[in-house]
Amino acid sequence: MHISDGVLSPQVWVSGYVITGALATYILTKKTDISEIPKLSVITAAVFVASLIHIPIGPTSVHLVLSGLAGITLGLAAFPAILVALILQAFLFQHGGITTIGINTVNMGLPALAAYGVFLAVTRTNIKGKYTIFGGLAGGIAIALGIALLSLCLLSTGEYLEYVVPYVVVAHLPVVAIEAIVVGAFAGFMLRVRPQLLKGYKPREVV
Considering only residues 156 through 195, tell me which ones interact with other proteins, judged by CB under 8 A. 158-164, 167, 178, 181-186, 188-190, 193-194
> Judged by CB under 8 A, does residue 11 bind other proteins?
no
Nearer to other proteins, 19 or 87 (CB): 87
* Binders of other proteins in range 65-104 (CB under 8 A): 66, 69, 73, 80-81, 83-85, 87-88, 90-95, 97-99
Task: Please report the DSSP string for 45-101 in residue order.
Answer: HHHHHHTT-EEEETTEEEE---HHHHHHHHGGGHHHHHHHHHHHIIIII--S-STTH
Residue type, 205: E
Cβ at position 171, least distance to other proteins in Å: 9
Strand duo 54-57 + 60-63: pairing = antiparallel
Contacts (CB under 8 A) with other proteins, residues 121-160: 158-160
What type of residue sits at position 21?
A: G
Q: Is 57 in the site for other proteins (CB under 8 A)?
A: yes
Could you tell me if 82 and 35 are in contact, meaning their C-beta atoms sit under 8 angstroms apart? Answer: no
Tell me if 22 contacts other proteins by CB under 8 A.
no
Cβ closer to other proteins: 126 or 203? Answer: 203
Answer for which of 50, 133, 155, 169 binds other proteins (CB under 8 A) is 50
Closest CA to 152 of 6, 5, 18, 15: 15
